[in-house]
Structure 1
């Protein structure tokens, strides 16, 4: 169909591989998606009393800040050259923010499990999490599978986006279970802990790579990861 062909041409042009320009375009589009989701996740999380949804909202805030800093760092790199460590430093900030958010979420989830989980409204959790999953899958497709081998910051953003999609899918499944059973509220903090551990592991590996890159004063070869 001609319309589909024009749409694909526009998408390729927008995300075209003039590497640095392409990175800024992809990051800007992904930043817009993240910002659009933050308000919805926070509002629904508070209304539904869901720790999983609130954790996702907090994660999106951290991701948006990291993406914004990454766009600025990309501009600095364009002016300074490949020797600039701006994007690597931003990757360190991103990984550190993820670890902090993860720690807060896990601590609150443990507190809820120990004290008895409050009532969670499953249907709004399910709806907003399905939307978030679709949005983050679209974000990962915009970045492209090869983003993980471009530089440490692009790898960190791709990690965040894929993790967000998986997180939202898990929270959606939790919301569905709570809605169908009208109970099992303990699932919400339990899933939050599991998700936090997975994201924390990825963030810790990323931070290790950042430390190695800064210590060696050279970009890492990411093609084999």
Structure 2
């Protein structure tokens, strides 16, 4: 049976879409442009969730003659897109907040804080749905960070709004917004770095190349290995190719099966391709590729 996309995407999009409609309605009712603007920001986040969901769905499609690995790479592209979305969104918040220091705007009142509190519940609840999968899937991690970012912004609105209404410190709202945005940027930078690395066919950070090499060299009948390549097919699937020199050609099929099982089991590498060699072949060594 073919795998299916994480159902958290469906629930996340549904909950956030309902919240956007409610936020726009509340903003128009009380004349708050801030709420309407925040609803547009949340709409961009729903778009980010939709992109991640579509990529997860594509990754589950069967391979074709032209795309022999299927569409697994779409999840890497989605993670990269979501990272860029987050960077732009947080950058816009910082720019807007800096502008408000010189032109402070009064907090709109209790209704704004109430709507922001609902936003905390919706976004934090959606983040919980993605929490389990975000540790091993960069695409889900991007969606998770989107929801955490929105929950953080909404929390900042509530805290700053309450304190500002009591103290009339109008500078507090933009200051809290900048602080929240900077915290989100730190997490987003890691997401962007990991997504770019996967897009550039780098070894996934969860895999130790030297440990893989040692595992292969320590396998019975293996004399040495070379041309070891490890890269991500998607945000969850890893591929490996390697040339192995054996001391014997005995039970070669069994050797390939057992070594493949060990690599898959020890390092969670889904696609293993091993080329066996014999004799006195000496591989070329390149300065920028010691493997």
TM-score by length of 2: 0.61
The structure in which a higher percent of residues are strand is 2
What's 1:32 paired with? 14
Kept after mapping to 2: 8 A contact 1:48/1:120: no
Structure 1 counterpart SS, 2:132: helix
Distance 1:90 1:42 in 2: 27
Kept after mapping to 1: 8 A contact 2:58/2:71: no
Which has the higher relative contact order, 1 or 2, with Cα contacts under 8 A spaced 6 or more apart?
1
What's 1:71 paired with? 53
What's 1:162 paired with? 148
| Deviation, structure 1 residue 166 | 2.3
Distance 2:187 2:38 in 1: 16
- 2:129 is the counterpart of 1:142: yes
| Deviation, structure 1 residue 57 | 3.1
Kept after mapping to 1: 8 A contact 2:60/2:71: no
Structure 2 counterpart SS, 1:110: helix
Distance 1:98 1:137 in 2: 17
Distance 1:58 1:201, change over 3 A: farther
| Deviation, structure 1 residue 95 | 0.9
- 2:79 is the counterpart of 1:96: no
The structure in which a higher percent of residues are helix is 1
- Structure 1 unmatched runs, 5+: 1-17
Kept after mapping to 2: 8 A contact 1:133/1:165: yes
RMSD: 2.7
| Deviation, structure 1 residue 55 | 6.5
What's 1:132 paired with? 119
- Structure 2 unmatched runs, 5+: 64-68, 202-230, 238-266, 268-291
What's 2:4 paired with? 21
Structure 2 counterpart SS, 1:104: helix
What's 2:157 paired with? 171
Distance 1:173 1:19, change over 3 A: farther
Distance 1:45 1:98, change over 3 A: farther
Distance 1:69 1:99, change over 3 A: same
Number of residues of Structure 1 aligned to a counterpart in Structure 2: 200
Deviations 1:114-169, CA, capped at 9 Å, x for gaps: 2x3022223122101111111122212322x3221241110111112122222212
Distance 1:19 1:146 in 2: 21
